[in-house]
Structure 1
Amino acid sequence: MAKNFLTPAETAQAFIGVGDYKTKMPVPKIIISSFLAGAYIAFAAQLMTTVTHDMAPLFGVGFSSFIGGCVFGIALVLVLVAGSDLFTGNTLLSMGWLNGNLTTGQVLNNWTLVYIGNFIGSLFLVWMMFTSDIWSGNGSQIGAHAVAIAYKKTHLTFSEAFVRGIGCNWLVCLAVVIVAAGQDTMGKIAGAWFPVMAFIASGFEHCVANMFIIPAGLVAMTDPTIANVVMENHPAWDLSSLNLYAFFVHNLIPVTLGNIVSGAVLVGGIYWYLYVKETQPVSQQTKKDDKTGFQAAKLGRK
């Protein structure tokens, strides 16, 4: 009876072929695919904001974070199962680079294009939320919550944001590995959902999610009604400190670096060392399974 998953060794071998495919995609396809991933992550972030905006006073911060993680789990399901290119998942291209299949230029070029595409997709969702006036819901409390999340994220220290970025993408890339190993749709969905729920509930930081969350807060607070609600809820805050400089320097840059470290080294590097380095294909069946994994991953475009 055929198994419905790949072993870790077979999955790692399959990623070598995936990296070759991703780096040879035409630039317009990379941009469009990564635009979709940015939008998918942003949909999940907006859902999380709406669902949790009034939960903490009723159920506590911990349970509210857990529910936020549960609903945010749709993000990687859309990215990995529906298909698109996400920067954090593409840090696993390090496996192909370590194996000598990819050059440094190929990896950096892909990362740059995907990062830009993710950012564009995220900002498109910011425009959608602003134009749709969703943030004015429940007496502008939804918008105020969007601002509050952004404010807290931009007031982390560099080291806090960096380490939270490491924790996040360690889990996200493990989700990518699990989805690639799965050979049926429900297995892939479960594999994508659980690690993402864990990183959100834990309070870790994802650079692409923050490409939506922090600009959303920046835009939402330009509405005087929303800004007033924020100050009523948090009278000691200085909203002027939530700005583009804080977005990039206090959050996006350190979080991105942390995401790269965990994805490229703690998952990609270690899996390459354990299962690819100095190994030979064990059998024709392994090759067949690798091909199956490659085709599944190609459709998923992690």
Structure 2
Amino acid sequence: MSYLNPHEFVGKMIDAGEAKAFMSTRDTLIRAYMAGAILALAAAFAVTITVQTGNALVGALLFPVGFCLLYLLGFDLLTGVFTLVPLAWLDKRPGVNLRALLRNWALVFVGNFAGALTVALMMAIILTYAFTVDPNEVGQRLGAIGADRTVGYADHGAAGMLALFIRGVLCNWMVSTGVVAAMMSTSVSGKVIAMWMPILVFFYMGFEHSVVNMFLFPSGLMMGGDFSLADYFLWNEIPTVIGNLVGGLTFVGLTLYATHARTGPARRRPAAEEFGIPEKVNA
């Protein structure tokens, strides 16, 4: 696995953020749509495996296949652009301003949501034979997830909202680490291995990913989950988006940028005599 040092891959992060800020509306929406759809399929895959095996670890071990595919295909997730595009703004790349940043985020959000919603509808049709029968065990599990992770938080009030927000922060700490880790290698195998590890952590720990939730909760509603659309947005999607932004930007983007792109001045090396070591005398 060819490895790039931090200074090199942080430069790639900034370049990627700049490229995304200037991408056309059409391309941004297409790439975001496909990213949302592929990640939604991976989530459906992981839930199916968990239900059929009774082992959540197996589902978590296999979920990263979707993330790896969408990254290698050059598609964009909201969680990734939250981390990368602001770096181009901070680096004062010409033309990358707040308007360009917000435009990118908005387009990627819309594209991700449309892609995830498409797969949610397709899975609902499959699991209910086009809504003519009750959902099977996988469909019932999707409905239960939606209720547990909306009204389940609401039952705890402010403490539940804080827990939800922190889960969003931790999620994109791991997911954005996966995005960055892929830039550390120049080989496909190296990228996949590097991405797989943090994505496994986020999924198994039950952290909140805004794009995964764009699939889980609409599909849960279609499966008869005991929660409402308002519950979904207020008690999951909106706080999760904010948590994902804070987690990815604070713990991944800004920390790497600050210490590898805008490195602080090195401390002065003390002269030998300051330690009582006599200078060498040339013969």
Show the counterpart of 1:153. Answer: 149
Report the Cα distance in structure 2 between the residues aligned to 1:139 and 1:118, rounded to whole angstroms: 25
Q: CA deviation at 1:138?
A: 11
Across the two proteins, how many residue pairs are aligned to each other? 253
The answer to whether the aligner puts 1:21 opposite 2:22 as a matched pair is: no
With a CA cutoff of 8 Å and minimum separation of 6, indicate the structure with the bigger relative contact order.
1
Show the counterpart of 1:51. Answer: 49
Change (3 A) 1:165 1:278: same
The answer to whether the aligner puts 1:83 opposite 2:95 as a matched pair is: no
Pick from 180, 184, 189 the counterpart of residue 181 of structure 1: 184
Change (3 A) 1:127 1:274: same
| Equivalent residues of 1:31, 1:117 under 8 A apart | yes
| Equivalent residues of 2:116, 2:214 under 8 A apart | yes
The answer to whether the aligner puts 1:7 opposite 2:10 as a matched pair is: no
Q: CA deviation at 1:65?
A: 2.7
SS at match of 2:73: helix
Show the counterpart of 1:247. Answer: 232
Show the counterpart of 1:262. Answer: 247
Q: CA deviation at 1:55?
A: 3.9
The answer to whether the aligner puts 1:94 opposite 2:90 as a matched pair is: no
Over residues 269-291 of structure 1, what are the superposed CA-to-partner deviations in whole Å (9 max), with x where a residue is unaligned?
A: 111101111589xxxxxxxxxxx
Report the Cα distance in structure 2 between the residues aligned to 1:191 and 1:134, rounded to whole angstroms: 37
Report the Cα distance in structure 1 between the residues aligned to 2:76 and 2:128, rounded to whole angstroms: 27
Report the Cα distance in structure 2 between the residues aligned to 1:183 and 1:113, rounded to whole angstroms: 29
What TM-score does the superposition give when structure 1 sets the normalisation length? 0.79
Query: Which amino acid in structure 2 is aligned with residue 18 of structure 1?
Result: A
- Structure (1 or 2) with the larger CA radius of gyration: 2
SS at match of 2:241: helix
Show the counterpart of 2:203. Answer: 200
Report the Cα distance in structure 1 between the residues aligned to 2:194 and 2:137, rounded to whole angstroms: 33
Pick from 49, 64, 72 the counterpart of residue 73 of structure 1: 64
Pick from 112, 116, 121 the counterpart of residue 110 of structure 2: 116
The answer to whether the aligner puts 1:140 opposite 2:132 as a matched pair is: no
Moved more, 77-86 or 25-34: 77-86
Q: Which one has a larger percent helix, Structure 1 or Structure 2?
A: 1
Report the Cα distance in structure 1 between the residues aligned to 2:17 and 2:263, rounded to whole angstroms: 19
Over residues 169-210 of structure 1, what are the superposed CA-to-partner deviations in whole Å (9 max), with x where a residue is unaligned?
A: 000011011101111001111112111111111111100000
SS at match of 1:181: coil
Show the counterpart of 1:218. Answer: 221
Query: Which amino acid in structure 1 is aligned with residue 144 of structure 2?
Result: A
Q: CA deviation at 1:75?
A: 2.1
Once superposed, what is the RMSD of the aligned Cα atoms? 2.0
